[in-house]
A and B are shown apart, each in its own frame.
Chain A
């Protein structure tokens, strides 16, 4: 007998469809509860609101999950949570007297399947393209990328060394990676032409 922990998200959903037993959904939702709360917390910046939002997200998921095929539960629940929070923020900011702003997007939505594997690229730091591309990044992004990938420092160590917050470190690494990819692609295209 398998433990529910050994099932993938897709297998848990398949078991739910096969047996119509909500327990399978319960196990799947518990797997994501803390992370969905974290996403809500990022956007709403208040633990009580984030807990309410998480509850809404799972209520919605409970109603929707049997209606159609969900190939990637992880991406799906992430969009449900994010959209719910953005709607909350919009309705808050449309009320007079409230000044909530939408949190800064990290730009990670722009990630594509073609995303370069930074590890491999940075292993080949000798590559003149990469060196030049790194120099084109902002000072903060370049520093964070170098510290995380080359010096193998943890987020906490980078925070201590730079004085940045966790969010800033994450944002500089993610945006730095994205910009690096764009610069490298451009350089490679120029080189080929």
Chain B
């Protein structure tokens, strides 16, 4: 039996993925296991998730899948941020172009108005 105690901070509505994986590998202390099992008995999402995860071979398979999923999420977020940055840089071009044109027009007006 392990002595690992999960830390489920009050800010979290669900336990960390690492705690879930340790549970699946039977790596949690009795007290921690108890805490998690009481949670999953009362929590639909956690209960269903654990039921599904128990169908996997062990926590190592779940860990591999978890890494793949998190990589997929990171990729999607990275793409989305890149698109957003591009959309921000587009109006900047427009602003620069308009400013340049205005300056040129102003300069032209000054020059023309100074002509005899």
Q: Which positions in A face B, CB cutoff 8 Å?
A: 5-9, 11, 20-23, 25-26, 29-43, 45, 47, 50-51, 54-55, 58-59, 62, 73-75, 77-78, 82, 106, 108-109, 111, 115, 119, 148, 152, 154-156, 165-167, 170, 173-174, 177
Question: Which of B47, B52, B80 touches A41 (beta carbons < 8 Å)?
Answer: B52
A14 to B66, CA, bound (A): 26
Question: In the complex, are the beta carbons of A35 and B51 less than 8 A apart?
Answer: no
Question: In the complex, are the beta carbons of B76 and A34 less than 8 A apart?
Answer: no
Question: In the complex, are the beta carbons of B76 and A39 less than 8 A apart?
Answer: no
Question: In the complex, are the beta carbons of B51 and A167 less than 8 A apart?
Answer: yes
Asked, given contacts A42-B49, A156-B26, whether A5 binds B9 with beta carbons under 8 Å apart, the answer is yes
The closest CB in chain A to the CB of B40 belongs to: A170
Question: Which of A20, A58, A75 touches B76 (beta carbons < 8 Å)?
Answer: A58
A74 to B48, CA, bound (A): 13
A98 to B74, CA, bound (A): 35
| Given A58-B76, A78-B44, 6 more pairs with CB closer than 8 A | A5-B9, A37-B49, A51-B65, A75-B45, A170-B40, A174-B41
A8 to B76, CA, bound (A): 22
Residues in B with CB closer than 8 Å to A23 are 77, 81
Question: In the complex, are the beta carbons of B20 and A34 less than 8 A apart?
Answer: yes
Question: In the complex, are the beta carbons of B45 and A78 less than 8 A apart?
Answer: yes
Question: Which of A34, A62, A165 touches B69 (beta carbons < 8 Å)?
Answer: A34
Question: In the complex, are the beta carbons of B47 and A8 less than 8 A apart?
Answer: no
The closest CB in chain B to the CB of A73 belongs to: B13
Residues in B with CB closer than 8 Å to A74 are 13-14, 45
Question: Which of B9, B30, B70, B74 touches A154 (beta carbons < 8 Å)?
Answer: B30
Convert B77-90 into 0s and 1s, putting 1 for each residue whose CB lies closer than 8 angstroms to a CB of A.
10011001000000
